[in-house]
Copies of this chain bind each other. A is one copy, B any other.
């Protein structure tokens, strides 16, 4: 019961529209994905057949519990990568979104879960995490190299010096 990238995109788009509007119309989805209305109709038929979407011809579009669950998972993957790209890598928001929108379809649950653990570790550990990421931002902007330590390194160096005394 694998979904193609394309069908996942439709599901996610429906999910995102519903978050704002309680129910989606085909045109909303078409605009969001920049495809023809007829392509949406096509996709809807498949998604209804698979039990992921509720939709009678000419009627509004909602998600079944199963469809909602899958859509939520896809949207979550999107967010994780978008945030990593913009916050940590300082990629512009448009590129970050597009890239997240591709990766979300190909990253297995197992891998993104581990990735999130990794990011959490970096962010939560108050003895380095957040400052570590900030240190990267510093290095990136300043174009520093090993001989020109970032804030985190500099601080650590100082401490080392102090404790040697």
Interface residues of A (CB under 8 A from B): 85, 88-91, 95-96, 99, 102-103, 106-108, 110-111, 114-115, 117-118, 121-122, 124-128, 132, 135-136, 139-140, 146, 149-150, 152-153, 156-157, 159-160, 162-163
Contacts and interface: CB of A to CB of B under 8 A. Distances in A.
Contacts of A156: 127-128
- A contact patch SS: helix
Given A132-B132, A150-B125, A89 B115 contact: yes
B95 A108 contact: yes
Given A152-B128, A163-B159, A99 B91 contact: no
A130 to B, nearest CB: 12
